Amino acid sequence: MQLPPDLKAGLDDVLGALSAGRLKASALDLSRRYRAGPGQGRLPLLQSTQDVSAYLAVRLPATYAAVHQALRQAFAALPDCLPASQLDVGAGPGTAAWAAAATWSSIEACTFVERDAEMIRLGQRLAEHAAADPLRTANWLAADLAHMRELPSHDLVTAAYVVGELSEVAQDRLVGQLWQATEDLLVLVEPGTPAGFARIRRARSQLLASGAHLAAPCPHELACPMAGGDWCHFAQRVERSALHRRTKGAELGHEDEKFSFIAASRQAALPITGRIIRHPQARSGHVRLEICGPEGLRNEVVARSEGARYRAAKGLTWGAQLPWLSPGPDDPS
C-alpha cells in the first residue's frame, strides 16, 4: 500500500528540510532502542526532536499500514458501524486517526491523548495537510495515560503500538479504561512479535470477560487456539518513499510491517467461517491455507481439480476471510 497523498505531503513538509545524515543516525538509534524492548513504564523511548522526526520518517509509514489493515478487517466485520468520533491514545503524530479517516468518512471529531510535546507539535503540523477536517481540528490532550482517571467516551477508540510501552499493571488498567470509553468499537494494535501478541491475547481475554464482542481478526469468541510458541499476526506491505529509504539506509522499495491486533465491539459482528493466518502457499496444482476457524486451527489444501474453489484460494491473502463454509471433500482436517 501507499500512504495517502495528503499524509505524504505532510511528511515532506515536516521532514524535508532536515539533514538526511542526522535523521539517519537518529533512526538507527531509535530502532536499536525499540529492538531492545518497549519502555514498559521506564524511560520514554522517544527522547528528542530528532527521535520524533526519525519516528515520522521510518515508523509512521509502517504503523499507518498496520492500523489501516486492522481497521479494514474491523470495517468488513461491522459494515453498519459508522463512527462519528475517535479517541486515539498514545497517538504519537496521530497515525491511527489518519488510518481511520481513510476507512470511515463518518468521523467528525478526533481526540488524541499523547504525553510527548514534540509528537504533538509535529502531529499538528502533519495534520495541517490533512484532507479530512477532523484531523485538522483534532483535540490534542497532552497527558500521561498512567495518570488519567478516565478517558472521554468516543464511538471509535484506538491504541496503536502503545500498550507495550506501559507496565503490565498499567496495561490491564488502560484496556479497561479504553473499553469503558468505547461506544462502538475498540481497536488495539501491537507489534507482530510473540510479546506483542501476548499483550493482545491478554487484552482479548479481558475484553471478552467485560462482555465485548470480537469483530476481528478472530472468527469466534472462544479461547484463542494459538499454542506451542506460535503467535497470531498479520503483515502489511508499505511502499518506502525516497526519504524513508535514505533515512533507513535501505534499498528495497517496500517493507512488510508485522502486527497483532484485536477489534472489540459493542455489537456482534458478521459471522465469518475462518481467517487466513499465514501467507497462503501456492504450489503446482494446489494451495495450502492455514486457517483459524470456530473449531480451532486447521490447514486446508485446495487442489486445482476443485475448480472455482481453487481459483478463489489462489486469490486469498494473509488476513483475508475464508470465502467458503466448510472444508472441501479431500481436506485432511
The site for ligand SAM (CB under 6 A) is made up of 44, 46, 60, 63, 90-92, 95-96, 113-116, 119, 144-146, 160-162, 165-166
C-beta closer to ligand SAM: residue 132 or 160? 160
**Alpha-carbon Rg for the chain in angstroms:** 20
C-beta closer to ligand SAM: residue 165 or 300? 165
> Residue with CB nearest ligand SAM?
92
Q: What is the H or E stretch that residue 310 is in? A: helix 308-314
C-beta closer to ligand SAM: residue 40 or 305? 40
C-beta closer to ligand SAM: residue 70 or 224? 70
In angstroms, give the least distance from the CB of 10 to ligand SAM: 14
C-beta closer to ligand SAM: residue 131 or 146? 146
Query: Position 48: which residue type?
Result: S
Q: Is 192 within 8 Å of 213 (Cβ atoms)?
A: no
Query: Within 78-218, where are the H helices?
Result: 95-101, 117-127, 133-136, 168-180, 194-209
In angstroms, give the least distance from the CB of 160 to ligand SAM: 3
In angstroms, give the least distance from the CB of 73 to ligand SAM: 16
Give the separation between CA 230 and CA 210, rounded to whole angstroms: 26
In DSSP terms, which residues pair with 290 in a beta bridge?
Answer: 299
Q: Is 161 within 8 Å of 239 (Cβ atoms)?
A: no
In angstroms, give the least distance from the CB of 135 to ligand SAM: 14
In angstroms, give the least distance from the CB of 138 to ligand SAM: 13
C-beta closer to ligand SAM: residue 54 or 160? 160
Q: Is 301 within 8 Å of 330 (Cβ atoms)?
A: yes
Give the separation between CA 307 and CA 320, rounded to whole angstroms: 20
Give the separation between CA 290 and CA 217, rounded to whole angstroms: 14
Cell 468516543, residue? 154
Neighbours of 98 (CB within 10 A): 28
Give the separation between CA 18 and CA 210, rounded to whole angstroms: 47
In angstroms, give the least distance from the CB of 169 to ligand SAM: 13
In angstroms, give the least distance from the CB of 115 to ligand SAM: 4
Give the separation between CA 125 and CA 12, rounded to whole angstroms: 11
C-beta closer to ligand SAM: residue 46 or 156? 46
